[in-house]
Structure 1
Amino acid sequence: MTFHVASVCAATLRSATVITSNTVRLSDLFADLEPGEDRVIGPAPAPGASIHVGGGQLIAIADQFGVDWIDQSPSALATITRAGRLLDKEFFVEFVRRSLSDGGTDPLSVDLVDFHPLMVAPDDPKPVTMSDVSWDQRSGRFSATIYRTHPTGDVTQDSFMLTGTVHAAQRVLVFARALSADTVLSSSDVRVDDAYVGRLSDGVMTDAGGIEGMTLMHNVVAGQPVLDRDLHRSVVMHKGNPILIAFTVPGIHLAATGRALEDGGDGQYVHALNVGSGMIVTGRVTSASEIQVDSRSTAVPSNSNALRLLTASARPNTRAESSFR
């Protein structure tokens, strides 16, 4: 009878235990301990790590703390694993974005080229800190040192260098829809993105009016930034050539002879000299030899410099007409 009572009250080994604390307790190794028998026996492994306790060590622990372990054996083995939360690349991208925006609402684009996943305690609200931050906002180059808030004591695991690129939101011109190569553009083909966070290179265009009449050199997709190297303009009107200046409003059509003061592509606005009045007007190129004057534009008097430049750029064998059509 005495043996039967002892077997009921004796502690039993826990072969595998998952803990969340940073210490190991006697009850993490043995179940059915006597009241008041449980206590801290040592530090826990790092989050996500495990320790293995063999039979000889288990027997020594049971003897040291007076645990009646009935099924003790030198071949016994207990594994204690500390629960952990993995800080992956997505975590560090958001961590960098939050840290650099300083609580602001301006979006940032973060691309990390080097990072080390870390296993931390699942209930740690602030598992890492960042210092030695270097961010060149023009090039986007970024680097910083990441430290564990609660070090493990292993210098190879408690800190590392984080590198990559970070770009702040910018106001850029992007394509409004997918377009194919050789498309002649109008302002409706583009839109302004006030919070673009993608990577940008030199030559980003910002003026929607500047793309009128330009031709795409290759296919583009919606939302892609408009770069000057994506476009080319086929000059149809040449500086100094005689042209027709047309002015049209409902019920009225007027035309005058003039000379182009600059090269222009189809749909582009150019300046021209009205030969008869000596006024400089602005119009949209509608063909190689005609511009349509915007009714909202205002003509301005030409000056000697403008006329000198016009004379110097005039091509041989061209003659301006001097009368209205």
Structure 2
Amino acid sequence: MMIRRSLILAAALIGLAVTVSAPAAAGVRVVVPTHDIARGTVLTDSDLTYTTVATTVMGGVATSSSEVVGLETRRTLRAGETLRVQDVRRPVLVARGSMVTMSFEAPGIALTATGRAITEGGLGDTVTIQNQASFRQISGVVVGPGQVRAESTSARFASATP
């Protein structure tokens, strides 16, 4: 800063025309809600807009609406407030405590059973289910509303070997 002032003063002293302009404000485009959005709402394009913030963006701030469209809000979002990625999640298809249908398939066998969800999750998430008949806890992947696919341990090991 001191050197810049000295150069401007020296240029003015020798008769050079000096034009000083303020540095351009560095801005980052971020995603913000267009209106207040309640917790549990699935976001659409019409819920979001962009704004430019003059400061550097901290990690985890959504910079593209495609990052968050179709996701469910974890908390109430305020209009114009910077949207963070941790404020949203995949829509919950299996709620904690709900009854779900578990399916298991292996070559030559297909089984289904009911269980109670110990954890909640969205499409593709791994959840823990308690089998109602044996009271064993089973991990499975959410494949639809109230639907979980359990995988066998041997199938995972077989697919992991070259």
Question: Rg larger in 1 or in 2?
Answer: 1
TM-score range, shorter chain: 0.3 to 0.5
TM-score by length of structure 1 reads 0.25
Q: What TM-score does the superposition give when structure 2 sets the normalisation length? A: 0.45
Q: Which has the higher contact order (CA 8 A, sep 6+)?
A: 2
